[in-house]
Amino acid sequence: MVSKYREFHGGVESHILDLIAGLSELGHRVELFSSEDVPGDGFDARARGLAAKVRSVGSLFWNSAAREALAAAIEKFEPDLVHYHSIYHQLSPSVLDISSVPSIMTLHDYKLVAPCYSLYRDSQICTDCVGRKFALPAVLNRCVKGSAIASVVCAAEQVIYKSRYIDSVDRFIVPSSFLRQMLVESGIPEERMTVVPWGVPANSPETVLVSESPANGSKFVLYAGRLHESKGLGQLLDAWTGLVTKEDYKLIVVGGGSLEPSVRAAVASDPSVEYLGVIDRGHLLDLVSMAEATVMPSIVPETMGLSALESLVRGTPALLTGRGALSELSGAGTVDIDPDALVESLAEALSRIVRDPSFLAAKRAELAKRDLSMYTRDAMVGRIVDIYKSTLLASSGSHR
């Protein structure tokens, strides 16, 4: 496995750890290579001084140290296959096409579609760069960190290296049909992609909750994710604090990010809001199981939606905006939220939850009958193993 981070940063790292655990249980030997395994200085978005910035940008295009370190790791481990994940910037495209063994790459985001990763600009969805050879709109609108220079660099990187990704990888895995369509429109061959949704640990009847409810016995609605405006968290806080009646409900927020001050301000002004910060995965999954409902009010078009999956698979109803791949999860056990009138729609749904116990009871009963087996960790691992086998078979005796 090759990805930019070893330690937990978000959904991608959770997915990789779930995949590694599942593969290991099946008897496969797996090793993870990340930027922490690369000696010296690599890409650093916070680099200060001209020399440091030049070195950082240079490593973004081609990180020789990362290539050499991965080559050494591959030579030592002797894998049958290399599976790439998010390698952009910290590792760079230099780590592609190192070995003669077949390679798989899971595309977790929109990096090969638009330089800004997110298809989100000025508080709304933006697809202006989709299908363009050079992402001029990203440059004109300073979509990367609000910087014209950073936007030019990332747009140039995309032009220079997209073909390297296509030529170096045998098979691409994507977590949703929505992302696949965006990639097809951006020039990634459709026949080289397979949709495999992320899978999460199932909530078996034998599950024992090891965490105590942080709400001191109160019912609670849970938000778990990045604390960022693109996730609709600000609108969720507005909707919640504006409720006239909350009964005995609380809103619990989990995660870290730029909106942490806003969350702490909400906690200070409203005792029904609690903030737990960043917590470990086991504790989080316990909270998901204990919650009355979860909320994923994303404004951006999600490529999958790990928080929503964790909720639904563990039997907890979810409030979803349907943006991007979230529309693929909509159905029994979900509550549709209008992203174009987010505060009002959230307020209406939350008010119904706290006032009408039968509403969530009906949603939970619907969810219990829904077949979500394709979104479990075991199902995901099984499908990926099948892709490994078919790729190895196709490449046998004829690989580069």
**Domain spans of the chain, in order of start:** 11-199+377-395, 219-375
Q: How far is CA 367 from the centre of its chain?
A: 23
Sheet with 82-84, side-by-side order of all strands? 82-84, 103-106, 171-174, 193-195
Average pLDDT, the chain: 89
Q: How confident is the model at residue 53 (pLDDT cuts 50, 70, 90)?
A: low
Per the document, the length of the chain is 400
Q: What letter represents residue 114's amino acid?
A: A
pLDDT band at 153 (very low <50, low <70, confident <90, very high): confident
| Average confidence (pLDDT) over 177-196 | 95
What is the per-residue pLDDT across 54-73, written as a single tens digit (0 to 9) for each?
566 666 677 899 999 999 99
pLDDT over 90 percentage in the chain: 70
Q: What is the pTM assigned to this prediction?
A: 0.88
pLDDT digits (tens, 9 = 90+) for 2-30: 999 887 667 888 899 999 999 999 999 99
Out of 80-84, 153-157, 387-391, least confident range:
153-157
- Evaluate whether 253 touches 275 at the Cβ level (below 8 Å): yes
155 and 115 in contact (C-beta within 8 Å)?
Answer: yes
Find the angle CA(10)-CA(15)-CA(21) to the nearest 5 degrees. 130
Per-residue model confidence (pLDDT) at position 206: 42
List all residues 6 or more positions away from 217 whose beta carbon is below 8 Å from its beta carbon. none
C-alpha–C-alpha distance, residues 33 and 97, integer Å: 15
User: Which comes out higher in pLDDT, residue 351 or 123?
Assistant: 351
- Given a cut of 70, whether residue 161 has pLDDT beyond it is yes
Rg (CA), the chain: 22
**Other CB atoms closer than 10 Å to residue 27's CB: what's the count?**
6
Q: What is the pLDDT at residue 336?
A: 96
| Distance of alpha carbon 308 from alpha carbon 305, whole angstroms | 5
DSSP state of 273: E
Beta bridge partners of 106: 173
Alpha helices in the chain (DSSP H): 11-25, 50-61, 64-77, 136-140, 148-168, 177-185, 233-241, 260-269, 281-290, 306-313, 342-355, 357-368, 377-395
Q: Confidence band (pLDDT; 50, 70, 90) for 144?
A: confident
What is the structure's pLDDT at 208?
44
pLDDT band at 205 (very low <50, low <70, confident <90, very high): very low
Is residue 172 within 8 Å of 303, Cβ to Cβ? no
Q: Please name the residues in contact with 371: beta carbons below 8 A apart, sequence gap of 6 or more.
A: none
Task: Taking each helix axis as running N to C, give the angle between helix 342-355 and helix 357-368, from 0 to 180 degrees, rounded to the nearest 10.
Answer: 100
For 219-375, CATH number? 3.40.50.2000
Equal CATH topology for 11-199+377-395 and 219-375: yes
Reported confidence tier of residue 48, pLDDT bands at 50, 70, 90: low
End-to-end CA distance of the chain: 20
Least confident interval from 36-45, 99-108, 232-241, 290-299: 36-45
pLDDT(337) > 70? yes
Query: Which DSSP state fits 38?
Result: S
Residue 398 has pLDDT above 70, yes or no: no
Band of pLDDT at residue 379, cut at 50, 70 and 90: very high
In CATH, what is the architecture of 11-199+377-395? 3-Layer(aba) Sandwich (3.40)
Q: Of 296, 223, 289, nearest to 260 (Cα)?
A: 223
pLDDT score at 345: 97
pLDDT tens digits along 68-103: 999 999 999 999 999 999 998 889 899 999 999 999
Lowest average pLDDT, out of 235-239, 301-305, 364-368, goes to 301-305
Residue 52 has pLDDT above 50, yes or no: yes
* Cβ atoms within 10 Å, residue 260: 15
State the pairing for strand pair 124-125/120-121. Answer: antiparallel
Largest CA distance in the chain: 69
What type of residue is 117? Y
Question: What letter represents residue 43's amino acid?
Answer: F
